[in-house]
């Protein structure tokens, strides 16, 4: 009997190779000792928040009704009647914002440490698409509570597509499933938000991490080959979980002391005076407001996104230390300030 367990374990190990897999991907994997500080926990934080979004999203789905007649009341019921529904909803909504901030800061770290350079160009490209997917996830979820703000916010957001030359009208109709935001739009956004985008995100995240593992992690630009390594598991994972726990604690305080305000149900016949998108779309919204013609503003934004996605192929310099590239440093800081400035302007205009 005493030898039965080790025998079964080694029989399973021979066939499944789980122990070997754990050794290769967790305990036996090391990251540069100088790549373990807070900036290097942001990618991990983003995925932990994605998992938290999955969990809270599934719990919300138990009571959410995806129809224009039922959505608003089901969300009210979740907030007011379902035990801890207010907390789950708050965590899903603050979690979305936190995930977007974590992804953006992660991208900024990778940019300023030039971790996108050879051989990590595709880490960057898949990362940028993940960032876009994260924004689409947030945008598609925004309509689901079917409130005045979410209805009209989505109306304004989808309306921007109309300015695409030649196919603008068709694009709006395709996204909305009709002329206006309505029942078909809610069904489309629901399908995108709970199935299509999360699946695409998970698949692409798998590829992103596969690339990271293939090359190993880069770290700061001053890192030299042969520098000491730090165990990824349990040490670095424990650090990432600690950061996650601290952020969750802060979010819990925010949810308790800054609860969601009660909102009006969507009314397609009554346009509210001030419609603004969520903070992460404010820079783009303000840019579209001040630049004309609109198709030109859209073209410039499309080009900016293309430049960002393809950046590793455009920046051909071998120098990784941005302090030795004052022009790029100055331009990047200026670009960040312009985006922030447009956001603040959009908020107050
Ligand atoms: C939801 C989106 C994302 C998730 C969950 C994610 C997750 C991760 C994780 C866990 C790592 C390894 C740990 C680390 O280096 O911090 C990583 C590395 C990396 N990520 Fe992301 N990432 C996301 C988006 C992005 C974006 C937007 C970019 C840039 C455009 C990006 C570019 C990179 C690069 C270049 C690396 C390799 C860094 C190195 O090896 O030094 N990622 N990502």
Percent of the chain with pLDDT over 70: 99
CA–CA dist 207, 239 (Å, integer): 24
List pLDDT tens digits, range 317-346: 999 999 999 999 999 999 999 999 999 999
Cβ(48)–Cβ(26) under 8 Å? no
Cα(240) to centroid(ligand 1), Å: 14
List pLDDT tens digits, range 192-204: 999 999 999 999 9
CA–CA dist 99, 96 (Å, integer): 5
25-29, 177-181, 281-285: range with lowest mean pLDDT: 25-29
Own/partner pairs, 117-121, CB within 8 angstroms, 24+ separation: 117/312, 117/315, 117/318, 117/320, 118/312, 119/215, 120/211, 120/215, 120/218, 120/312, 121/312, 121/313
Cβ(131)–Cβ(176) under 8 Å? no
Residue 274 or residue 174, greater confidence? 174
Domain boundaries, the chain: 23-265
For ligand 1, is residue 220 a contact (CB within 6 Å)?
no
What is the pLDDT, as a whole number, of residue 156? 94
Most distant pair of Cα atoms in the chain: their distance? 80
CA–CA dist 211, 289 (Å, integer): 39
Looking at every residue in the chain, the average pLDDT score rounds to 96
For ligand 1, is residue 116 a contact (CB within 6 Å)?
yes
CB-based contacts of 13: which residues, under 8 Å, 6+ apart? 19, 20
List pLDDT tens digits, range 262-273: 889 999 999 998
Q: Return the SS3 of 275.
A: coil
Q: Evaluate if residue 103 carries a pLDDT over 70.
A: yes
CA–CA dist 200, 211 (Å, integer): 17
Residue nearest to atom 41 of ligand 1 (CA): 218
What is the pLDDT, as a whole number, of residue 2? 61
For ligand 1, is residue 126 a contact (CB within 6 Å)?
no
* Mean pLDDT, rounded, for 240-246: 98
Question: Cα–chain-centroid distance for residue 104?
Answer: 8
CA–CA dist 102, 51 (Å, integer): 14
Cα(329) to centroid(ligand 1), Å: 21
pTM of the model: 0.94
Identify the CA nearest to 222 among candidates 331, 326, 323, 121: 323
What tokens does 250 get?
A: 């802060």
What is the pLDDT, as a whole number, of residue 1? 54
Residue nearest to atom 43 of ligand 1 (CA): 43
The hierarchical CATH code for the domain 23-265 is 1.20.810.10
What tokens does 208 get?
A: 């992103």
Q: Evaluate if residue 115 carries a pLDDT over 70.
A: yes
> Where would I find the H helices in 216-291?
237-257, 282-290
The CA-CA-CA angle for residues 233, 25, 129, to 5°, reads 100
Residue 265 — φ and ψ, nearest 5°?
A: -70, 155
Q: Evaluate if residue 107 carries a pLDDT over 80.
A: yes
State the closest ligand 1 atom to the C-alpha of 39, by its place in the atom list counted from 1.
16
């Amino acid at each position: 009997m005493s030898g039965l367990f080790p025998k079964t374990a080694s029989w399973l190990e021979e066939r499944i190779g789980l122990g070997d897999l754990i050794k290769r991907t967790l305990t036996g994997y090391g990251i540069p000792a100088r790549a373990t500080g807070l900036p290097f926990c942001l990618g991990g934080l983003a995925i932990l928040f994605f998992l938290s979004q999955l969990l809270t999203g599934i719990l919300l789905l138990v009571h959410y009704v995806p129809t224009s007649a039922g959505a608003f009341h089901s969300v009210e019921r979740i907030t007011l009647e379902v035990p801890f529904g207010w907390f789950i909803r708050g965590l899903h909504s603050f979690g979305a914002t936190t995930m977007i901030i974590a992804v953006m800061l992660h991208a900024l770290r990778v940019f300023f440490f030039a971790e996108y350079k050879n051989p990590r160009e595709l880490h960057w490209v898949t990362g940028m698409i993940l960032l876009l997917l994260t924004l689409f996830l947030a945008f598609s979820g925004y309509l689901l509570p079917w409130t005045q703000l979410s209805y009209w916010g989505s109306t304004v957001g989808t309306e921007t597509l109309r300015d695409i030359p030649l196919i603008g009208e068709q694009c709006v109709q395709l996204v909305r499933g009709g002329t206006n935001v309505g029942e078909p739009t809610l069904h489309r956004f629901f399908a995108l938000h709970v199935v299509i985008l999360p699946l695409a995100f998970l698949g692409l995240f798998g590829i992103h991490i596969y690339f990271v593992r293939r090359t190993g992690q880069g770290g700061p630009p001053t890192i030299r080959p042969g520098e000491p390594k730090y165990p990824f598991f349990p040490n670095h994972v424990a650090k990432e979980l600690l950061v996650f726990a601290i952020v969750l604690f802060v979010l819990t305080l925010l949810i308790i002391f800054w609860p969601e305000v009660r909102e009006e149900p969507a009314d397609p016949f009554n346009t509210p005076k001030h419609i603004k998108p969520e903070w992460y779309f404010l820079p783009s919204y303000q840019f579209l407001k001040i630049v004309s013609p609109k198709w030109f503003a859209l073209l410039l934004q499309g080009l900016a996104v293309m430049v960002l996605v393809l950046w590793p192929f455009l920046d051909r310099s071998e120098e990784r230390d941005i302090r030795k590239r004052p022009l790029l440093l100055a331009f990047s800081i200026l670009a960040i300030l312009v985006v922030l400035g447009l956001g603040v302007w959009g908020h107050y205009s």
